[in-house]
Amino acid sequence: MGSSTSAALRELKATVGLLRDSDDDPPSGVAEPAPGLAQFPELIEACWAAGIDVTLHTYGPRGSLPPLVELTVFRVVQEALTNITKHAVHPVVTITLAYAKDTFSAHVLNTGARPGPAGSDGYGLIGMRERARAALAGRTCGSTR
């Protein structure tokens, strides 16, 4: 099994663990927590190492977000950066995280040169949309308790 498959399985186990009730036994075999906003500096460092100009701006007092929301934001931003890497010429990226009383938003904007040539049809945008919908559905379900 390849390292990316192993990583995906670990992430799936961690996500399932987050969806479980708190009085359930913790999931076994999860070596580390799922990625979240705390890992953004590492993600940005990796972009810099790849020659991508990335800036992170945070507005408002940082509130506590549910772990599933943090994981979703991390993966959506990661996928957006991957898409920019694949399709943009000389990307200049700004990531904006905005915290307000009852809301949170994340924006990724590439203001660099025109897009590069179109590649093969992928599932990046579809995957980002599905992740966001799943997190919102989980958040809505969790708030009815």
Instruction: Tell me the per-residue pLDDT of 111-124, one tens digit each, with 9 for 90 and over.
Output: 887 665 565 566 66
Q: How many helices (H) and strands (E) does the chain have?
A: 4, 3
**% residues pLDDT > 90 (the chain):** 34
Q: How confident is the model at residue 107 (pLDDT cuts 50, 70, 90)?
A: very high
> 21 falls in which pLDDT band (50, 70, 90)?
very low
Token pair 């800036």 in the structure block, residue: 55
Q: Are strands 53-59 and 92-99 parallel, antiparallel or unpaired?
A: parallel
Q: What are phi and psi of 7, to 5 degrees?
A: -65, -40
- Pick from 15, 46, 9, 8: which is nearest to 33 by CA? 15
Half-sphere exposure of residue 77: CA atoms within 13 angstroms, side-chain side = 29
Judge if pTM exceeds 0.75.
no
pLDDT tens digits along 36-90: 999 999 999 999 998 889 999 999 998 888 998 999 999 999 999 988 888 888 8
Domains of the chain: 1-34 (no CATH), 35-142 (3.30.565.10)
Alpha-carbon distances of 12 from 15, 34, 47, 59, rounded to whole Å: 5, 9, 25, 30
Q: Residues with Cβ < 8 Å from 39, sequence gap 6 or more?
A: 74
